[in-house]
Chain A
């Protein structure tokens, strides 16, 4: 799924990076970064309400390039700067995690497990 689809389906705003050429195959919802760090998946969209620097660091270490912040959480300037340095995309949606995940899954984004 192209990230432009993610943006359209969740009515999201792109606050870091560029979505046009980014594709994701799977999605994973978690506010617990410890769980994100146990994954071994490429081309994954991280759907999280954890809006802090450690979410970006976690994504960086786990080779995750696409993050969707849910529940109206906003990325801080420090998060956006770090995401830019690592060529990451951050999107923000006001949808709940359940709502965003449900819509994206129904549209073909696969579960990691």
Chain B
């Protein structure tokens, strides 16, 4: 198993996507179909942008195993008061700044769900959120 860890800085949009880019480069070294890699990195990038957009800071942990890729995106952010609502396309609490970057349209979490096999959201209002994502690669 290979494990990758990245610190994510909240609010720093110039760096948003760096971790996802590094993970993509790593995944390309393995014999994984490009479509599956795209699914994984799109989900990861959405999660990374969410951390930058909403949290003070966070971290991304990626475990690459022969059968699946497991991703944890953890943040120290505001938490999600209503997960069901956050999963609805079009619902967003993003700031104007985030929207100006081309995000914050309320598509992030639904799109993550679409791209992975398992999505678990563990959130604590006022403390933070952890996304657990699993993509089968067999």
A residues adjacent to B (C-beta < 8 A): 31-35, 37-38, 40, 50, 52-55, 57-58, 60-63, 78
Contact = CB atoms under 8 A, between A and B. Distances in A.
A37 B42 contact: yes
B17 A53 contact: yes
**CB-CB nearest 8 A-B residue pairs:** A57-B17, A33-B102, A34-B107, A34-B105, A61-B45, A50-B102, A61-B41, A54-B101
Given A53-B14, A54-B16, A60-B17, A35 B38 contact: no
B103 interface: yes
Interface string B85-118: 0000000000000000111111110010010000
B5 interface: no
B94 to A, nearest CB: 10
Contacts of A53: 13-14, 16-17
Contacts of B132: none
5 contacts: A33-B103, A37-B42, A38-B114, A50-B102, A53-B14
Contacts of B14: 53, 78
Interface in B47-103: 49, 101-103
A50 B21 CA distance: 20
B45 A32 contact: no
Contact of A62 (B38, B49, B101, B105): B38
A52 B108 contact: no
A54 B17 contact: yes
Nearest to A33: B102
A102 to B, nearest CB: 23
B20 A61 contact: yes
Nearest to B52: A54
Nearest to B110: A38
B42 A61 contact: yes
A52 to B, nearest CB: 6
A35 B105 contact: yes
B34 interface: yes
Nearest to B99: A32
Contacts of A32: 102-103, 105
Contacts of A52: 13, 101-102
Interface in B19-57: 20-21, 24, 34-35, 38, 41-42, 45-46, 49
Contacts of A58: 17, 45, 102
